[in-house]
Chains A and B, each alone.
Chain A
């Protein structure tokens, strides 16, 4: 225990009690004695300190109650000690005239008194004491054992719940250092009362602990590790959610060693699990911790604006991305499945005006038309296994492309064609195409329906901005999408006839080689009348002469 800063300041007993004390103290000394000295002593002290409301002002201007409940004192394990048993600097003939800098300073001073009797040998036999008292900011003895109703900690809350038992210490300012990070161990009882777990005991979650057992926490490397360890606790009851989480991108990130990936408590709170925390979570605030820029984009979207204007129809993060089985964001994949949850009639809506809606909606991501044109689009070539439909592993695609691919800049049509040929020799490979946003962030700037792109020419034009970048989508080691930039000429290459079988945007991705072939053929067609006509003109005189001769 650290030494208290016993500052000899002037007594700050409140003025009224100072006067009373001054007037009555000599007479109290003359009061008839009870059977024991300690009882007399207590009676004498309680003459003043038994008055509720008696307080003193401390050095930090805070007020500390100096009221002593006589009943509590009597029932205390120290009930027969008398006041001076602990307050050794007080006797019936003198009253301390010093003050304390703070309640903490006072408590620390009192703790010293405790340890006069409770020696270190006995004290440190309890591992909890050993650990708690080793701290620099160790709690004072009264923090756990009380000041006048002194009991063993276990007895002190003997008839109460384990929660109350735990709170005896954990409602106090408690911190723990985890590799230099400070972990607050302080629990506000109000949090628990407002929690959906209010009817649970602490030990329902903290199963390793009880009134009898308080093991040392495992050696933790970081607070994040603690958070993720806590998620295991949640999964004991919330198994359905845990299963979903395991299928999420966040779980994949964690498995890949990314400690920033959220655990249960990051979204639901650690002890204040309940409506407040849930509203906070639903509002996307936990998501903002890592995805602040995306959240800002969302706020300007039709979804965000609707939400902010309290129409409440606008979805929040989880509305599209799911709450637990958050899937990896894939630039190459249309977010259609997300949108369908709410926009169930979207296919009929589009059928009203969009030709070939099935083909459009299969390849064109919703965002490609429902985001302002200021944000760039890109074309994604999804190389998938024909059987499973899953993206091909990055390593396999890169191996097929070979080390020479893209050496002279981006990977070109021939590079992709040879890779496709080699990959197809081993398995059925499908290359599907998605028109989507250049960056995932931009997918969140969703427009109101009325402002969505409806002009065919935005795509169906030789100079469309949609086809200026392209990338091959593969599967990374952690299952996340990996993109490999390729030359956008891939889209308008004759090689594409082989591997881009299902993607053709009239005007936008026309095969340029066909233009040259066509030009040559048409010029050939024109050459016939030009050459033959010229010869006819040159030989006209001869024909005329022959006709005249006949």
Chain B
């Protein structure tokens, strides 16, 4: 196969991705400390809460940067799955078949990543759900929990602090579970480090995703 370099991740996207990763890591560590104080003893409760809030607001800022960049460049379409289910479902099935079988026998990846068509149908569905539903929900629940005095009325209308807290925790668990899958998938390129290097350099061998 003729291989040539394709720019997949422009610099702003790479900066956003790693900053986002840093925030996720910080939020998971401090969140675990907040939830399991007495079992984990990495830092004081107060420090954990303060850092969690700071990481949280940084994540919100990054989310806004992400939204602004993708909207302004027209790249937001990479997240939008094909709304024609007759086209989308066969493609998604083909991709699932690749991950579930073809990849083991050395079949080529049916999806060829480009800057404007970065995600395969399964990734599109996953990242669309994360960026348009789960992360906003996590941000909203986090902001509500950040100042329960200020948002007491909204929290009450949403079912109370236990319900909001449970939603926040559930989404955290989903993100953590997904992180294992996400990191593993980055190793499924032509080489184990192809996708990871691409997130540093911005370039990747065409069709290798």
Contact = CB atoms under 8 A, between A and B. Distances in A.
Interface of A: 355-359, 456-457, 460-464, 496-497, 500-504, 506-507, 510-511, 514, 517-518, 521-522, 524-526, 528-529, 532-533, 535-536, 539, 542-543, 546-547
Q: SS class of chain A's interface: helix, strand, loop or mixed?
A: helix
Q: Which of B34, B106, B156 is the most central at the interface, judged by chain A CB atoms within 10 Å of its CB?
A: B106
Contacts of B159: 497, 501
Contact of B104 (A358, A501, A522, A539): A539
A359 B34 CA distance: 18
Interface in B64-111: 99, 103-106
Contacts of A514: 166, 169-170, 173
Contacts of B189: none
6 contacts: A356-B147, A497-B160, A506-B49, A506-B165, A507-B35, A528-B181
A359 B103 CA distance: 54
A507 B45 contact: yes
B36 A507 contact: yes
B104 A462 contact: no
Contact of A546 (B105, B166, B188): B105
B201 interface: no
B176 A525 contact: yes
Contacts, number: 121
B7 to A, nearest CB: 27
Interface of B: 34-39, 44-46, 49, 99, 103-106, 147-149, 152, 156, 159-163, 165-166, 169-170, 172-174, 176-181, 183-184, 188
A511 B161 CA distance: 12
A462 B38 contact: yes
A506 B34 contact: yes
A525 B178 contact: yes
Contacts of A357: 149
A506 B162 contact: no
Q: 10 closest pairs, A vs B, by CB?
A: A501-B160, A525-B177, A529-B184, A462-B38, A461-B38, A543-B106, A539-B104, A358-B149, A507-B37, A518-B173
Given A501-B156, A507-B35, A539-B104, A524 B177 contact: yes
A510 B106 contact: no
Contact of A507 (B34, B103, B166): B34
Given A502-B160, A507-B45, A359 B166 contact: no
Contacts of A356: 147-149
A462 B36 contact: yes
A175 to B, nearest CB: 64
Contacts of A511: 162, 166
A536 B38 CA distance: 40
Given A501-B161, A522-B177, 12 more contacts: A355-B49, A356-B149, A358-B152, A456-B45, A501-B159, A502-B162, A506-B34, A517-B173, A522-B180, A525-B179, A532-B99, A535-B104
B56 to A, nearest CB: 14
A457 B105 contact: no
A522 B176 contact: yes
A462 B103 contact: no
B190 to A, nearest CB: 11
Contacts of B45: 456-457, 460-461, 506-507
Given A356-B149, A359-B148, A507-B45, A522 B37 contact: no
A358 B153 CA distance: 13
B120 to A, nearest CB: 16
Contacts of B161: 501-504
Given A497-B163, A514-B166, A525-B177, A359 B106 contact: no
A355 B177 CA distance: 31
Contacts of B163: 497, 501
A542 B104 contact: yes
B139 to A, nearest CB: 18
Contact of B105 (A456, A518, A526, A543): A543
A187 B109 CA distance: 109
Contact of A529 (B44, B103, B148, B180): B180
B38 A457 contact: yes
A294 B143 CA distance: 44
A522 B169 CA distance: 12
A530 to B, nearest CB: 9
Interface centre among A461, A464, A504 (most CB of B within 10 A): A504
Contacts of A464: 38
Contacts of B179: 525
A355 B150 CA distance: 11
A528 B176 CA distance: 13
A535 B149 CA distance: 51
B187 to A, nearest CB: 8
Nearest to B188: A536
B104 A457 contact: no
A111 B184 CA distance: 116
A532 B184 contact: yes
Nearest to B158: A501
Contacts of B188: 536
Contacts of A517: 170, 173
A529 B162 contact: no
A55 B163 CA distance: 93
A528 B169 CA distance: 21
Given A460-B45, A525-B178, A533 B165 contact: no
A358 B188 CA distance: 51
Contacts of A542: 104-106
B177 to A, nearest CB: 3
Given A497-B162, A502-B161, A543-B104, A521 B38 contact: no
Contacts of B105: 539, 542-543, 546
B28 to A, nearest CB: 11
Contact of B174 (A521, A533, A543): A521
A549 to B, nearest CB: 10
Contacts of B172: 518
B141 to A, nearest CB: 12
A522 B35 contact: no
A542 B107 CA distance: 11
A231 to B, nearest CB: 45
Nearest to A528: B181
Contact of A525 (B148, B156, B160, B181): B181
A532 to B, nearest CB: 7
Contact of B177 (A501, A503, A521): A521
Contact of A500 (B149, B162, B169): B162
Contacts of A463: 38
Nearest to A355: B49
Nearest to A353: B46
